[in-house]
Structure 1
Amino acid sequence: MKVSKSSAAQGPRLARRILASAVACHAMAAAVPAIAAETWPSKPIKVIVPYTPGGSTDTVSRIVFEKVAERLRQPIVIENKPGGNSTLGTSIAARAKPDGYTFLSVLAAYSANPSLYSHLQYKPSDLTPVSLMADLPLFLFSSKSVPATTVAQLVDYGHKNPGKLNFGSSGTGSSAHLVGTRFGMVSKMEMTHIPYNGSAPILTDLMSGNVSMVFDPLLVPMPQAKAGKINVLAVASARRWPGEPNIPTMEEAGFPGFVMSSWAGLVAPAGTPQPVIERMSKEIAEAVRSPDVQKKLENLGFIGVGSTPAEFRKLIERDSARYAEIIKAAKISLD
């Protein structure tokens, strides 16, 4: 088949036009995130809290995002969607439009839920990490009915009285439940788990002797420990709590590697523009480092962090693997 000179000449020109068009389309696509970052936020932002109003996640979110809203000069609306151990609100966020105007506040239970439920209405990949907002150290409190003022004495008593000790938690699958379960495993103590609905009823039974111990944030039990009504033995964090420097860490108490705190963080629907995620991460970091926010968080037992998305992803992956191991070994399920 013959090809005319005009047709032959058109070939290279057509190829150049196609290439130019492709380059232009690529440039336009690349420009979209930049435009989103420059104009974001242009309207109010919604942060879903998958717990009831007044709880620790809700309170921390309101403290942090009040400051972030000031910095962004846009309202940030907290929307409570409790239910299903936080899975209801999480599934709503996972289905939200990834336009940078919907986020989700989560606790450490977010890392455990994929192992606690065989069927979830979302996949972990449906959401992407933004920032670890704050760390929440868990302290080991024990009842006065247990003759122990140190972790070593508690373990010794547990070994000599198998099955006599129990531990409370704020619910099956909670951080306190999983940390307490791990403590029983590594200390080789036989203990019974007693789930409660929150910290207040645990404290009542801890003081009466119906509960032997609990891993809990300091806010509710610490005043009773200071009053001599319960004992505080250790904190399960990498470092001692600044406000209570005389309380040893679990590692110092003889359990190397026993660092298991709860935390509060922020995630976004997968596909949210990366520049928006980076911007929100930086704004959270600035907010939690401000003296007034730091003070408010410390009063609740939290330590402001403000991590990068990559750092938060690494924490979620680490805790997911750790919790999965505990849940499998203890045969814990919420199905």
Structure 2
Amino acid sequence: MAKQMNQRTTQRTTARRVVIAALVLGICGLASGSVLAAEWPAKPVKVLVPYVAGGPVDNVTRMLMEIVGKSMGQSIIIENKPGANTQVSTAQLARSAPDGYTFGVIPAAYTTNQVLNKKLPYKPTDFAPVSHMVNIPLFMFTSASTPANNLKDYVTWAKTKPISYASTGPGSTGHLLGEMFSMASGIKGNHVAYNGSAQVMPDLMAGLVDYIFDPATGGMPHVKAGKLKALAVSAPQRCECAPDIPTMAESGYPEIVQGSWIGLVAPAKTPKDIVDRMSAEVAKAVHSPEFAKRLNVLGFGPVGSTPAQFQALIERDVSAYAAIARKANIQLDN
């Protein structure tokens, strides 16, 4: 009997020690996370950009992070990691330490990749949303020689001939928007993929391809030069940079309101305090007069969302693009 009592006492003591140890470790973990967040940023912060330097996404990110860095009193280093329709940069971010010193820019292609690529080098759960930073309205551009000045007349004209539309790559936002327009208008458009809008523009102006959905930065200078026409914009409202161009909804296609965007994410398990602080800094910078003025020149719209709002946008776009891909039977091998 004494032996059994001793065994029970030993078991209770051991269990008590395990509980105490777990509590201590938990408290220490919470404390270390709080200390990390309180001291952050104690050194330069790196932001990965999935495109080459000098493009619109890179330029916007650099402008924004310059303001954020000044506000936080710390340098922010931009590291360009182009390739594989943004997958190279995003995969590196997934492997980065969740210590608040590496963030990554993702465009709307992040959502189309989830829909169309079955073997991505990362999982959506590898990231923590930080902020939906900027909206990028996409305009429908066509050649100046096209005998139509509005979308209604364009559809009438396009139904009399074979039509092709360009995009900046298979699975890009422009690719899926082209399919949306084909299905909504009844025009069977043949998709022609390019490596970037700079390569599209000469062929578009020459009429070798019939239209493209692209940011204002790509086609609007050619519109002003009289070499292209902008028929509509796939945004909820007209763009300040081109207030005379109607939306797709105003032109009879209310289902086409998909555009592109730029957002910021962190590796999963980055301390929430740090994610929230970075999100607040981005929102403040996005709506600063300095940034808003420079952004308007590019035809982009400031947002600066909370992490939860950004996650909702990602989920909404994944759902929308999945529906388009199913209807249009778009599949990409990865």
TM-score between both structures, scaled by the size of structure 1: 0.91
Q: What pairs up with 1:1-335 in 2 under 5 angstroms?
A: 1-2=1-2, 22-161=22-161, 164-328=162-326, 329-335=328-334
Counterpart code for 2:42:
S
Report sequence identity in percent.
44
1:122 deviates by: 1.1
Structure 1 residues 317 and 191: alpha-carbon distance in aligned structure 2, compared to 1, 3 A threshold: same
Report SS of the residue matched to 2:155: helix
Conservation of the 8 A alpha-carbon contact between 2:56 and 2:217: no
Report SS of the residue matched to 2:84: coil
Conservation of the 8 A alpha-carbon contact between 1:145 and 1:212: no
1:217 deviates by: 0.7
Provide the C-alpha distance between the structure 2 equivalents of 1:191 and 1:152, rounded to a whole number of angstroms.
16
1:247 deviates by: 1.4
Which residues of structure 2 form unaligned runs of 5+?
Answer: none
Provide the C-alpha distance between the structure 1 equivalents of 2:15 and 2:190, rounded to a whole number of angstroms.
73
Report SS of the residue matched to 2:217: coil
1:239 deviates by: 0.7
Provide the C-alpha distance between the structure 2 equivalents of 1:47 and 1:110, rounded to a whole number of angstroms.
16
Structure 1 residues 19 and 117: alpha-carbon distance in aligned structure 2, compared to 1, 3 A threshold: closer
Deviates more, 1:30-39 or 1:42-51: 30-39
1:12 deviates by: 8.6
1:201-256 Cα offsets, whole Å, 9 max, x none, are 32222221112111111123112223332211111001111232221111111112
Provide the C-alpha distance between the structure 2 equivalents of 1:276 and 1:45, rounded to a whole number of angstroms.
12
Provide the C-alpha distance between the structure 2 equivalents of 1:117 and 1:19, rounded to a whole number of angstroms.
45
What is the root-mean-square deviation of aligned Cα atoms in Å?
A: 2.3
Provide the C-alpha distance between the structure 1 equivalents of 2:122 and 2:316, rounded to a whole number of angstroms.
20
Conservation of the 8 A alpha-carbon contact between 1:155 and 1:187: yes
1:158 deviates by: 2.4
Conservation of the 8 A alpha-carbon contact between 1:57 and 1:106: no
Report SS of the residue matched to 2:30: helix
1:16 deviates by: 7.1
Q: How many residue pairs align between the two structures?
A: 333
Provide the C-alpha distance between the structure 2 equivalents of 1:8 and 1:155, rounded to a whole number of angstroms.
84
Provide the C-alpha distance between the structure 2 equivalents of 1:4 and 1:107, rounded to a whole number of angstroms.
65
Provide the C-alpha distance between the structure 1 equivalents of 2:259 and 2:31, rounded to a whole number of angstroms.
40
Counterpart code for 1:147:
P
Deviates more, 1:252-261 or 1:4-13: 4-13
Report SS of the residue matched to 2:118: coil
Provide the C-alpha distance between the structure 2 equivalents of 1:295 and 1:334, rounded to a whole number of angstroms.
41
Report SS of the residue matched to 1:86: helix
1:32 deviates by: 3.0
TM-score between both structures, scaled by the size of structure 2: 0.92
